[in-house]
Amino acid sequence: MDVKLIQRLIKLMKDGEVFELELEDEKAGSRLRLKRGRPEAPAVPMPMVHVMHAGAAPVPQVAAPGAAPAAPSAPEAQKPAAHKGTTISSPMVGTFYRSSSPEAEAFVRVGSRVELDRTLCIIEAMKVMNEIKSEISGEILEILVENGEPVEFGQPLFLVKTD
Amino acid sequence: MDVKLIQRLIKLMKDGEVFELELEDEKAGSRLRLKRGRPEAPAVPMPMVHVMHAGAAPVPQVAAPGAAPAAPSAPEAQKPAAHKGTTISSPMVGTFYRSSSPEAEAFVRVGSRVELDRTLCIIEAMKVMNEIKSEISGEILEILVENGEPVEFGQPLFLVKTD
Amino acid sequence: MFRRVLIANRGEIAQRVIRACRELGIETVAVYSSADADALYLRQADETICIGPPQSAKSYLDIPAIIAAAEVADADAIHPGYGFLAENDHFAEVCRSCKINFIGPTPEVIAALGDKVRARELARKAGVPIVPGSDGAVEDEKKALEVAQQIGYPIMIKAAAGGGGRGMRVARNEPSLVASFHQASSEAKAAFGDGTVYLEKFVENPRHIEVQILADEHGNIVHLGERDCSVQRRHQKLIEESPSPSLTPELRARICEAAVRVVREANYTNAGTVEFLLARDGSFYFIEVNARIQVEHTVTEMVTGLDLIQQQLLIASGERLAFKQEDVRWSGHAIECRINAEDPEKDFQPSPGKIELFVPPGGPGVRLDSHCYSGYRIPPNYDSMIGKLLVHRSTRDAAVRTMLRALDEFVIEGPKTTIPLHGSILRHSDFRAGDHDTGFVERYYGSHPAIPVKEPR
Amino acid sequence: MFRRVLIANRGEIAQRVIRACRELGIETVAVYSSADADALYLRQADETICIGPPQSAKSYLDIPAIIAAAEVADADAIHPGYGFLAENDHFAEVCRSCKINFIGPTPEVIAALGDKVRARELARKAGVPIVPGSDGAVEDEKKALEVAQQIGYPIMIKAAAGGGGRGMRVARNEPSLVASFHQASSEAKAAFGDGTVYLEKFVENPRHIEVQILADEHGNIVHLGERDCSVQRRHQKLIEESPSPSLTPELRARICEAAVRVVREANYTNAGTVEFLLARDGSFYFIEVNARIQVEHTVTEMVTGLDLIQQQLLIASGERLAFKQEDVRWSGHAIECRINAEDPEKDFQPSPGKIELFVPPGGPGVRLDSHCYSGYRIPPNYDSMIGKLLVHRSTRDAAVRTMLRALDEFVIEGPKTTIPLHGSILRHSDFRAGDHDTGFVERYYGSHPAIPVKEPR
């Protein structure tokens, strides 16, 4: 194994933000193991901000160091981790409506098939009804927001099993 | 495996922020293991305080995070790491003298044998001449303080090769 | 008084407004871009709403997103802070049409003062000296040469829609004027979409003096004295202080009174600042009105003991000023150093990233307004100011000494900052003597400021 | 003025003295035990010397070590801070014999005021009311019963050499007096090596009022007004404020004047504090003189704008006070909360260890004196105070509001602290009304303080 190779591997790791790489060969029986992202604990605990409609005054509370992985930007943190599927997030802040009027049918329900450009919901912002259209096709697994609820930018709205 | 190779590997690790590298070859059965990023390490870098007779105003300077293990209490940090031997440290703050008077012989020199309770030096504090006696026996390898220099608590005075 | 205020800003000024609201018992709604999701000050708000991605245009400058957030959160007023939408008359207008109180002057006043030609006209009507120059826009180089002939060189060419030094040129003779005229105009066109320029007499080595004003909606106006912001680099303020070391009591009275006349003429309401150039001979000239709270309002807070953000909230909710001009008391001397995450040794390029260790100074006479902390990651998307370090002491000399020890105490590990530069400026004999002007920084700390090695104390 | 001052203390007060010296251009020598080797404030000193192991007796209380350090470092004065050797007349005497200036009163004055019986005698001579009691030491229980008969129950038994609540007992009848007399005496013997006790009338639910004094070596004495330290737990102050909400201007004038008379009678020099009990009926009684700078001197600094540590240094170097009594100006209201690393829910047991994240509050009206920072390890060897959070606002109500928001902002991750307790006290209606006394904390927050859940703002 020559130094050049190691050098290239390190560069690859650096560029790819890989923090762990194992490699066996045994004359190409081969074995490789890569880990990306951040290594174990962040050096200083990244405070988790509890967001959205705190209601009463928020009690200062920082995640115990190492207790949680680094908090990603807050709304995304609310993704239900257990589910498999693709999340469709809100592109804006506003009020979420499932139908075009209180009397009308909901655009989609759990189990609905959605295609590209199909209207999924409406988000009202500044009295404007913005139709939110699908950018993927698949089946609605879950609707994550109640009708009439406020949503913020990046908040997950639908869980979709893509085709 | 030669020193040059190791040297180059260390440099690669340093530049590539690799903190762990394993390497097997067994005539190219091969095996490699790299870890990048920070090691577990202290959560917040412990600032190293540069102490003792700063003279001019100290410029705030913290050791680069991860560059050094947590700083131990300062005076001990000045122990010459390379030497093998036991250090005899000052039990008090004061002025270090190698002999009982300017005309007298030094209590010990490099190469002197010292026994338990043999006087090694004098530390003057509040006009009192405190004889510092050896608590170990062995041979003086090095005298770490100049005659007449101030010393603080815990500052290494002698390096001794113990029996 | 308002029940719930939305803060349409980020960083230290968002935190500053939250503090003022909490002290007045007002609920707060903090909006943030996804780049700011980790900021600690968000925890101090009663509600937080992510309004968009890191790019300002899609978050802090996105009017529909901010108004939607105010509607969803049921806020009855919006504080714009400084920068972003603070002097955007359209935003103030949208707030009004949505029946949300905009904490600042009316859209009409913002629009009038935002146009430098109209602002000069207002000052003239108020009987306040303005820098001799063209009466309004100068259309072509022929006209420019005529005007220059009248007022004499050196001449400053300025963009009507300008700010921050862009679209500004100095000409010392006719050929230079012709070239500069076209450069300034096209630069202004590119930067502001409006190539209109005007000419002014260029005042050599002036001091920058500005007067803080509070005006309620019932016609009461008070000034809170001046700030001296002569320590600037490329028209960006670095150090501000109050009182100014270069004003006599008589001159102070005249300049403050002039400021009051300008805002009265403009029908101004809420907190604002009237900026002046002070020439070496003691003559002063109106430059512009900043129709918002300024970064350096804190300096005035220190010497008057007033909370200007609380005053803004009180005024915007329709209350009368609780004090008159003669009740305002000034004490001691205050200095502010803007701590920017910039590398003074690399032409002040921004130095964002993670702050490994953040140990702010403290003790007597020291105030810090900062949203930073150990482990905070400065996002690369916004301006580089990470804190305002202030001191308040009985005399200017004592304030300088306190600032020097506070700067020395301040530990910021990770990004490069302007802390060493401030230390150097505060040790400079010109600054110590109060004998500096707006050219001071470029003169001594040009593009490659040689920061002198720290002298022994 | 001194050239080089050695600071014989640690933590926030060591940092406080370093700050004052730096602002006066005096070099500093910081001594430290090996437990404090990592403290950041050491970097602000011109020289640092390790004087011993963590145990106080072998470091901060070790007179030969400190004197040796002063000699090695060629310091011309020693500032003792508070606690440790601050009121040790032997230490002051050793300094004198070594020709090192001790920054504080003379050894003779420290000795006289350190003996409570002699101190009472001084106050009596100065015509200042003292709590009715035994004229000096009470030898046996028979004498104790006689004295009690004269002055009436309830009776307080106190150690002549005491402090911090040790050797103190209250008796409400004869049997209780007999038992308490012996308990107090043996407790005092154990704690201070001196079992001498005296008796006093026990003033029920008093306020603790103390007056800050500055006295130069030329006979000039000024008072800087009072501090109200009625929020105490087991005689440990938790919250201090100035002015006191329970003094009328007339009463304030009388009590401050009484304090001046006591220190004049004692030939006092340097900064000191005269402590009084204030009864509900407005009568006040001298308790003792603290012959040192106190933890809460900062409160007085906020309302007077004076730097008391700088004043100490000036006075000790032989200068005259630069101002007279009539020049002292007070403005606004200041409150201090002592932030201790203690767990209020576990009977205030100390909670040392590593501070993972330390984000101090800031903004208008806020001052923090603390030597802590993110990553700092609080050693278990010393007292648990990790910072003093102060606010200064125009009114008491505004100060309370600012303190509440500052406490809410303050993030200390790792050790438990008294921050939630302070928040609860400041929201308490008795405290808000200024209607609390030294029994307030025990009454509402006994050994298991039920800290009410934070009310909605």
- Domain layout of chain D by residue ranges: 4-103, 132-201, 207-444
Q: Is residue B67 part of a domain?
A: no
ipTM metric: 0.76
Residue of B nearest to D375 (CA): B44
The residue segments making up the domain with residue A111 are 75-162
**Number of A:B CB contacts under 8 A?**
84
Mean pLDDT split into 10-residue runs, chain A, 163 residues: 70 71 68 60 32 33 37 41 77 94 94 94 91 94 94 95 89
Rounded to whole angstroms, the Cα distance separating D109 from D88 reads 11
Inter-chain CB proximity B60 and C411 less than 8 Å: yes
Which amino acid, residue C350? Answer: P
Closest partner CB to D374 (pick from A44, A56, A57)? A44
Compute CA distances C78 → A53, C8, C11, C88, whole Å.
18, 7, 16, 13
Residue of C nearest to B46 (CA): C357
Q: Which CATH class is domain C132-201?
A: alpha beta
**How many Cβ atoms are within 10 Å of B67's Cβ, its own excluded?**
9
**How many Cβ atoms are within 10 Å of A63's Cβ, its own excluded?**
17
Both tokens assigned to C455 = 């002298």
Q: What residues of chain D lie within 8 A of the CB of C27, using their CB?
A: 457
* Residue tagged active-site, from D207, D261, D292, D338: D292
* Fold (CATH) for C4-103: Rossmann fold (3.40.50)
* DSSP string computed for B96-151: EESBSSTTSPBS--TT-EE-TT-EEEEEEETTEEEEEE-SS-EEEEEE-S-TT-EE
Residue of B96, B127, B129, B153 to mutate, interface with D, max D Cβ within 10 Å: B153
Chain A residues whose C-beta is within 8 A of a chain B C-beta are 1, 3, 6-7, 9-11, 13-14, 18-27, 38-41, 43-45, 65-66
Asked whether A67 and A120 are in contact (CB, 8 A), the reply is no
Percent of chain C predicted with pLDDT > 70: 97
Q: What residues of chain B lie within 8 A of the CB of D48, using their CB?
A: 49, 51-52, 54, 74
Any idea what DSSP says for residue D127? T
Kindly report which listed range (C225-239, C337-351, D154-168, D359-373) carries the lowest average pLDDT score: D154-168
Both tokens assigned to C266 = 């403009």
Asked whether D197 and D159 are in contact (CB, 8 A), the reply is yes
Q: What residues of chain D lie within 8 A of the CB of B153, using their CB?
A: 33-34, 49-53, 59, 65
Same domain? B103 vs B152: yes
Closest partner CB to D356 (pick from A45, A59, A60)? A45
Residue of B nearest to D53 (CA): B153
Both tokens assigned to C409 = 């105490």
Any idea what DSSP says for residue A127? T
Asked whether D209 and D278 are in contact (CB, 8 A), the reply is yes
Q: Nearest CA to C105 among D390, C95, D234?
A: C95
Secondary structure tally for chain B: helices H, strands E? 2, 10
Whether B42 has its CB under 8 Å from any CB of chain C: the answer is no
Residue of D nearest to A43 (CA): D356
What is the per-residue pLDDT for C286?
96
pTM, whole model, 2 decimals? 0.82
Inter-chain CB proximity A74 and C34 less than 8 Å: yes
In this predicted structure, the answer to whether residue B82 has a pLDDT above a threshold of 70 is no
Q: Nearest CA to A140 among A150, A155, A163, A100?
A: A163
Is there a cis peptide before residue C107, judged by omega within 30 degrees of 0?
A: no
Between CA D203 and CA D210, with CA D207 as vertex, the angle to 5 degrees is 110
Is there a cis peptide before residue D449, judged by omega within 30 degrees of 0?
A: no
Whether D292 is catalytic is yes
Rounded to whole angstroms, the Cα distance separating C270 from C317 reads 10
Both tokens assigned to C424 = 């150097």
Same domain? A107 vs A34: no
Rounded to whole angstroms, the Cα distance separating D70 from B127 reads 12
What is the rounded average pLDDT of the residues C412-432? 96
Contacts of D189 (CB under 8 A, 6+ apart): D195
- Band the pLDDT of B45: cuts 50, 70, 90: very low
Inter-chain CB proximity A75 and C34 less than 8 Å: yes
Residue of B nearest to A44 (CA): B43
Residue of C nearest to A123 (CA): C68
Which amino acid, residue D127? Answer: G
CATH architecture of D207-444: 2-Layer Sandwich (3.30)
Rounded to whole angstroms, the Cα distance separating D33 from D49 reads 9
Whether B147 has its CB under 8 Å from any CB of chain D: the answer is no
What are residue D214's DSSP bridge partners?
A: D222, D271
Residue of A nearest to B37 (CA): A19
Q: Nearest CA to B121 among B156, B163, B86?
A: B156
- Band the pLDDT of B58: cuts 50, 70, 90: very low
Q: Is residue B50 part of a domain?
A: no
Nearest CA to CA, how far is D315 from chain B (Å)?
A: 26
Nearest CA to CA, how far is C35 from chain B (Å)?
A: 23
Rounded to whole angstroms, the Cα distance separating C297 from C227 reads 9
Inter-chain CB proximity B30 and A24 less than 8 Å: yes
Same domain? B85 vs B143: yes
Nearest CA to CA, how far is D442 from chain C (Å)?
A: 29
Query: C132-201 with C207-444: one CATH topology?
Result: no
Q: Is residue B46 part of a domain?
A: no
Q: Please classify residue C115 by burial: count the beta carbons closer than 10 Å to its beta carbon, then call 0-12 exposed, 13-18 middle and 19+ buried.
A: middle
Chains adjacent to D (≥3 CB pairs closer than 8 angstroms): A, B, C
Total tally of structural domains belonging to chain A:
2
Kindly report which listed range (C61-65, C367-371, D143-147) carries the lowest average pLDDT score: D143-147
Between CA A64 and CA A67, with CA A65 as vertex, the angle to 5 degrees is 65
Where b means 16+ CB within 10 Å and e means fewer, A78-110 reads eeeeeeebebbbbbbbbbbbbeeeeeeeebbee
* DSSP string computed for C355-416: -SEEE---STTEEEE----TT-EE-TTS--EEEEEEEEESSHHHHHHHHHHHHHH-EEESS-
Same domain? B89 vs B157: yes
What is the per-residue pLDDT for C257?
98
- Band the pLDDT of C163: cuts 50, 70, 90: low
What is the per-residue pLDDT for D195?
87
Closest partner CB to B153 (pick from D40, D50, D71)? D50
Is there a cis peptide before residue C243, judged by omega within 30 degrees of 0?
A: yes
Chains adjacent to A (≥3 CB pairs closer than 8 angstroms): B, C, D
In this predicted structure, the answer to whether residue B1 has a pLDDT above a threshold of 70 is no
Rounded to whole angstroms, the Cα distance separating C387 from C39 reads 14
Q: Nearest CA to C395 among C262, C243, C180, C193?
A: C243
Both tokens assigned to D314 = 């000036």
Cα dihedral sign, C62-C67-C73-C76: positive
Inter-chain CB proximity D457 and A57 less than 8 Å: yes
What is the per-residue pLDDT for A119?
95
Inter-chain CB proximity C411 and B45 less than 8 Å: no
Residue C259, H or E segment: helix C249-265
Inter-chain CB proximity B57 and C411 less than 8 Å: no
Inter-chain CB proximity A125 and C59 less than 8 Å: no
Whether A148 has its CB under 8 Å from any CB of chain C: the answer is no
Cα dihedral sign, C112-C114-C117-C119: positive
Rounded to whole angstroms, the Cα distance separating B114 from D131 reads 65
Inter-chain CB proximity B32 and A41 less than 8 Å: no
Chains adjacent to C (≥3 CB pairs closer than 8 angstroms): A, B, D
If DSSP codes are grouped into helix, strand and coil, which group holds residue A130? strand
Rounded to whole angstroms, the Cα distance separating D7 from C270 reads 49
Q: Is residue A141 part of a domain?
A: yes
Q: Hey, what's the torsion of the CAs at C444, C445, C447, C448, to 10 degrees?
A: 110
* Backbone phi, psi, residue D320, to 5°: -85, 150
Q: Angle, to 10 degrees, between the axis of helix C89-97 and the axis of helix C63-73?
A: 30
Strands A156-162 and D236-242, bridge-based pairing: unpaired
Rounded to whole angstroms, the Cα distance separating A157 from A110 reads 12
Q: Which residues of chain D have pLDDT under 70?
A: 162-165, 447-457
Closest partner CB to A27 (pick from B17, B29, B65)? B29
Closest partner CB to C456 (pick from B45, B56, B65)? B56
Asked whether D106 and D269 are in contact (CB, 8 A), the reply is yes
Is there a cis peptide before residue D420, judged by omega within 30 degrees of 0?
A: no
